[in-house]
Structures are given as C-alpha cells and as structure tokens.
Amino acid sequence: MEGMSYARTPRVKIRELKDDYAKFELRDTDASIANALRRVMIAEVPTIAIDLVEIEVNSSVLNDEFIAHRLGLIPLTSERAMAMRFSRDCDACDGDGQCEFCSVEFHLRAKCISDQTLDVTSKDLYSPDHTVVPVDFSDPSGEESSEQRGIIIVKLRRGQELRLRAIARKGIGKDHAKWSPAATVTFMYEPDIHINEDLMETLTLEEKRTWVESSPTRVFDIDANTHQVLVVDPEAYTYDDEVIKKAEAMGKPGLVEISAKQDSFIFTVESTGAIKASQLVLNAIEILKQKLDAVRLSEDTVEADDQFGELGAHMRGG
Amino acid sequence: MNAPDRYERFVVPEGTKKVSYERDTKIINAASFTIEREDHTVGNILRMQLHRDPNVLFAGYKLPHPLQYKIIIRIHTASQSSPMQAYNQAINDLDKELDNLKSAFEAELAKHSSGY
C-alpha cells in the first residue's frame, strides 16, 4: 500500500502573458484543482494595502472615514508580501506600524494654495520604503503623453488641506477585498465540438448559413470554396445550446455534438497590478500547498487514535 | 457593534486544534475529520482526490453552516486501508500534484519570457 501514488502531472501552456494579464491552458487535472486555484488567487494570495489611517488635518469635502476607505483601495506593489509577516502574528511589534517586518508607513501632505482645484492622487503618498509604492498605471509606451497621473483620492479647493499618516499591512482578500490581488480570475472548460458531416451535407447552402448564424458567437463558418461548415473558434462557444436547438428546429437533431472536456481548462487571470499575473498564479500554488500542509494530522491526534485503536481491537476481539 | 472580527474567518482560535479526528462508533474504517477555518477550497480538492483512491468507499465533505468556519470530511475505506491512511495519502498526492503543476508553470514561464 505504501509508495502508491495517485498524483497527477498537470500540463500548462501559456497563451498570452503581460504584466497584469495571463491566459493559459491547464490540462490533465480536474475542476476541483482549477477551482481551488481560482479561489486562492482571489481570496488568499496576500498583498499589501493601507489598513490604518491617522488624519492630522482634513478640511476637504470628504469626511475622514471616506478618505481612509479610498486609501485602502489603492493597490500597492506587493512583491514583498509573501515574505512579510501578518501584523497579528508579528512579535517584533504590536502591529502599530513601527516594525519593518509587518508594516509600511506612508505620509500624505497636500494643501491647495491656488484658485485651481488641486487633485490629490496616489502619487502624493510618500513612504521611505521603495519596494512598496502605489502601483504605476502610466503607459510605458506613451511617454509623458498626458503627464503621469495616479489614482485621485480627493480634490481640494483654495485653502483646503489634507495631512495624514497611513500604515499599510499585509492581508488577504478573505479579510477585505482591498487585499485581493486579482481583478478577475475565470476558467472555462475547453469545448469539444463534433459536426456530423454526413448530416451536414444534407443541408442546402442557405440552410447552412442560417444554422451558422444561429450561434450568438462566431463559432462556425462556411468555407467559401467547398461550402463546408467549419469550426473556426471552438472557444467562442458559450455553452448556450443555440446551435443544438436550431438543428432540432430544422429537423436535424444530432447535427452537432458539443461536450465540455472535463480535464481541460482555459484560465484568464487579470491582476490589479499589486503583483504580476504570472507571479499571482505561482503564489496561489504556493499558498494552496501551505494550506494543505496545515491540514495534515498532528502527531498527538495520530497517537491518541493508536491507543484508541488498540482498545477498539480488544473490544472487537473480546 | 457586535459584529465578529473579520479575522475570525481564517485564524484558528487559541486552544483549538486545526484538525480533529473522530472515528465512527458503528462502522469500522469510517471516520470524520473536522477542519477548523477551512472551506470549499480545501474540502473539495481533498474529496476529489479521495475519490481517486480505490480503497476509499465513501468520501464527502460539508460546510455545516456559512457562519461556522469549519468543514467536516467523512471517509469510509475498505478494510485494507484506514480513513487516516487515505486522508494522509490524499494530502501527499495533492502536494505532489501541486509541485508538478508549479514546475510545469515555471517551465512555460521560462519559455515565454526568453521569447522576447
């Protein structure tokens, strides 16, 4: 019995990769793994976000808690988050922001002195730590085209002032969505589409056209030369069953057979910018491994059962 | 005002065990594992992995209540195995699978970034 393994070897193929976007195929595994990965990416991969705000002066039109909430939602670069400590298990401090292991301090000072409204943005947040800064969304290709702008926090008119101290901490999306590194994570089953060619040839060109057009998304097309119906984009299929219903309505049931492959998934991952999309996937795998490790049976549970087991054997034997 | 702290959802309270094991009193080779502060993420992958083990006659999990942050996994095995053995094996196999997945992803990533 020992040494037997039911572990699989999933295959991965990356289709598209950008800093904040990834599209990949995941094969030879099941929906439970795909879904666990998706859930972990959304709710359990840690990032850093502002969690505590001390407002010194606020004469803006927005109240203190409104500004604190807006600050919390600003994505901060969080490559360091995996190695950081949660402030609740940090023993170097009481989570008050004085400790480099679990928190990063930010300062914001802005006062409007002209007649023009002043935009206070995420660029006005200063921290002594260069590894944790508000995410830069400026397009690297369009150099200084529309001046580098951050996320607007509040607008000030003449004489209004905002001065505050903010502490950013490590956290997870399960606690508050501001810590979620994922904008969207989705997966779809890869569709398996089979056209019944013999039955298809009984259709006139006009019938083929109406059938092809019955699909809300462009999954099928007609070859201009051979007038054959072809599957041009299987992944455009949304499992809407429209073409199947259309075939039945035309009196040709079984014209096409569509099923979802149970072991192939197409993932789309979009990141908020806090961490790279590729790193998000890797972190999710790592977190899932840690979670599994945490649910291993502890030694004392096993020992307690061994004793009980002997007792049970006695009882059964006697 | 009396809302529970948000971290209640994922921090195991002091003095509580993460995993507790309870044998079935009536059926041999059947037991339930109560896992504190876990949800469908772990429950479902463990259940599906247990189904792949031919010695497992029954494996299921439930989240008894959305505000009780725990899951219960129930396993019934054939006589040549035991629920504890099946449970440990499922975790080890999933761990291996995730290692495989990680190296597969990293290999693809290396291929992709060297292409530029």
| A98 pLDDT higher than 80 | no
**Does a structural domain hold residue A79?**
yes
**Does a structural domain hold residue A261?**
no
Q: List, in order, residues 6 or more apart from A125 with CB less than 8 Å away.
A: A71, A74, A106, A107, A108, A133, A134, A166
Distance CA B82, CA A116 (A): 75
Is A18 in CB contact (< 8 Å) with chain B? no
Distance CA A283, CA A80 (A): 12
Distance CA A60, CA A270 (A): 34
Which residues in chain A have Cβ-Cβ distances shorter than 8 Å to B40?
Answer: 35, 39
pLDDT, one tens digit per residue, over A114-123 is 999 999 999 9
- Among chain B residues, the shortest Cα distance to A176 is held by B6
Is A301 in CB contact (< 8 Å) with chain B? yes
Q: What is the CA A218 to chain-centroid distance, rounded? A: 27
Q: Please give the ipTM for the structure prediction.
A: 0.95
Mean pLDDT for all residues in chain A: 91
Which residues in chain B have Cβ-Cβ distances shorter than 8 Å to A13?
Answer: 108
**Does a structural domain hold residue A304?**
no
Which residues in chain B have Cβ-Cβ distances shorter than 8 Å to A3?
Answer: none
**Does a structural domain hold residue A232?**
no
Write the DSSP assignment of A123-179 as a string of letters. Answer: GG-B-S-TTS-B-----SSSTTTT-----EEEEE-TT-EEEEEEEEEEE-TTT-GGG
- Among chain B residues, the shortest Cα distance to A32 is held by B45
Q: What is the CA A20 to chain-centroid distance, rounded? A: 10
Distance CA B39, CA B63 (A): 7
**Does a structural domain hold residue A70?**
yes
- Would residue A47 be called left, alpha or beta, if left means φ above 0 and alpha means ψ between -120 and 50 degrees? beta
Cβ under 8 Å to B: A residues 250-289 = 278, 281-282, 285-286, 288-289
Lowest mean pLDDT among A11-20, A223-232, A301-310, B61-70: A301-310
Q: Binning pLDDT at 50, 70 and 90, where does residue A314 land?
A: low
**Does a structural domain hold residue A119?**
yes
Query: Domain with A87 in it: what CATH number?
Result: 2.170.120.12
CA-based nearest distance B26→chain A, Å: 12
Give the number of other Cβ atoms within 10 Å of residue A208's Cβ: 17
pLDDT, one tens digit per residue, over A236-267 is 999 999 999 999 999 999 999 999 999 999 99
Strand segments, DSSP code E, in B63-106 are: 70-77
**Does a structural domain hold residue A166?**
yes
CA-based nearest distance A9→chain B, Å: 6
Which residues in chain A have Cβ-Cβ distances shorter than 8 Å to B35?
Answer: 295
Distance CA B35, CA B19 (A): 5
Distance CA A153, CA A106 (A): 14
In chain A, the number of structural domains is 1
Site of tokens 């699989």? A8
How many contacts, defined by CB atoms under 8 Å, are there between A and B? 136
Nearest to A285 among B52, B102, B112 (CB): B102
Identity at B69, one-letter amino acid code:
Y
Query: Which residues span the domain enclosing A57?
Result: 47-180
Q: Do A221 and A230 contact (CB within 8 A), yes or no?
A: yes
Q: Binning pLDDT at 50, 70 and 90, where does residue A149 land?
A: confident
| A85 pLDDT higher than 80 | yes
CA triplet A44, A137, A167: central angle to 5 degrees? 55
Cβ under 8 Å to B: A residues 162-201 = 172, 174-176
% of chain A surpassing 90 pLDDT: 81
* Beta-bridge partners for A187: A267
pLDDT, one tens digit per residue, over A26-61 is 999 999 999 999 999 999 999 999 999 999 999 999
Which residues in chain A have Cβ-Cβ distances shorter than 8 Å to B66?
Answer: none
Which residues in chain B have Cβ-Cβ distances shorter than 8 Å to A26?
Answer: 101
Is A310 in CB contact (< 8 Å) with chain B? no
Cβ of A32 within 8 Å of Cβ of B7? The answer is no
Nearest to A295 among B84, B91, B100 (CB): B91
Cβ of A292 within 8 Å of Cβ of B91? The answer is yes
Distance CA A175, CA A21 (A): 24
For A293, the token pair is 């490790």
**Does a structural domain hold residue A287?**
no
Cβ under 8 Å to A: B residues 1-30 = 6-7, 9-11, 17-21, 23, 28
Which residues in chain A have Cβ-Cβ distances shorter than 8 Å to B14?
Answer: none
